[in-house]
Amino acid sequence: MRFDILTIFPEALRDLLSTGILGQAQASGVIDVRLHDLRSFTDDPHRIVDDRPYGGGAGMLMKVEPFVTGIESIKASGDGKRRTVLLSPQGRLFRQADAADWARLDGLILLCGRYEGVDERIIEFVDEEISIGDYVLAGGEVAAAVVVEATARMMPGVVGKFDSIESDSFYDKPRLGAPQYTRPPEFRGLRVPEVLLSGDHAKIEAFREAQAWKKTTRNRPELLGLSLEETTKHG
């Protein structure tokens, strides 16, 4: 799968996306990450990618032309089923299900905004607008890295043991993953639950499932449609 990222700071992503499992996946050819400097798609000698917003207001707005030129250039360089996504705090919330769906594509084109955002006309040239959370970052680079890693992990050959993904939070249910433990069996009076040391796989599976739902109720009650008051009531 090919990931194309349009950004004014390609160097900020280069090291991040070439380490760990993403670096290994690129080396083995499972994924192909291409970073594109947005300024290379400008048509003026000063390589300007932003301007003052019409109607006034604080800050600068990213221009639509470089993004559209970049999108068209990327699409002309390869075929296949791909999706173009604008990373923005105004977008729909990115979910694990999106990562799973996008992992079946041939490619993703990710647009990293900056400053006060991107000229709204960009919406006509993308498939959707995505946010990674209800907060504002300085730019879309961190969000792009999140989308690339979450999506790549859903592809066979990226994570060493693909079946380990099935225990991830949000994998196939609206809940968090179960608490996990490793050696030593006791640390400062805190013991690993005995059932995990029993070797009884059926009991271990049941314990983990119950603990996963319990942790979800405590940490993310909204995933279960519960209010804070209901969470407190149920412990």
- Domain definitions of the chain by residue range: 2-152, 173-234
Mean pLDDT of 10-36: 96
Query: Matching CATH topology for 2-152 and 173-234?
Result: no
Please give the Cα distance from 93 to 117 (Å, whole number). 17
Model confidence over 206-224: pLDDT tens digits?
Answer: 999 999 999 999 998 998 9
Please give the Cα distance from 95 to 91 (Å, whole number). 12
Model confidence over 106-148: pLDDT tens digits?
Answer: 999 999 999 899 999 999 999 999 999 999 999 999 999 999 9
**Residue that has been written with the tokens 């006034």 in this structure:** 56
Model confidence over 31-71: pLDDT tens digits?
Answer: 999 999 999 999 999 999 999 999 998 899 999 999 999 99
Please give the Cα distance from 213 to 224 (Å, whole number). 9
Please give the Cα distance from 110 to 84 (Å, whole number). 6
Residue type, 91: G
Model confidence over 159-173: pLDDT tens digits?
Answer: 865 555 555 655 666
Reported pTM: 0.85
Per-residue pLDDT, 52? 95
Model confidence over 67-100: pLDDT tens digits?
Answer: 999 999 999 998 899 999 999 999 999 999 999 9
> Read out DSSP for 89-129?
EEEEEP-HHHHHHHTTSSEEEEEE-BTT-B-GGGGGGSSEE
Please give the Cα distance from 210 to 204 (Å, whole number). 10
Per-residue pLDDT, 174? 77
Per-residue pLDDT, 160? 64
Any idea which architecture 2-152 has in CATH? 3-Layer(aba) Sandwich (3.40)
Q: Name the CATH code of domain 173-234 (choices 1.10.1270.20, 2.10.10.90, 3.40.50.300, 3.40.50.1360).
A: 1.10.1270.20
107-112/2-7 β-pairing? parallel
Active-site amino acid positions = 89, 116, 153, 168
Per-residue pLDDT, 159? 87
Mean pLDDT of 8-13: 96
61-62/50-51 β-pairing? antiparallel
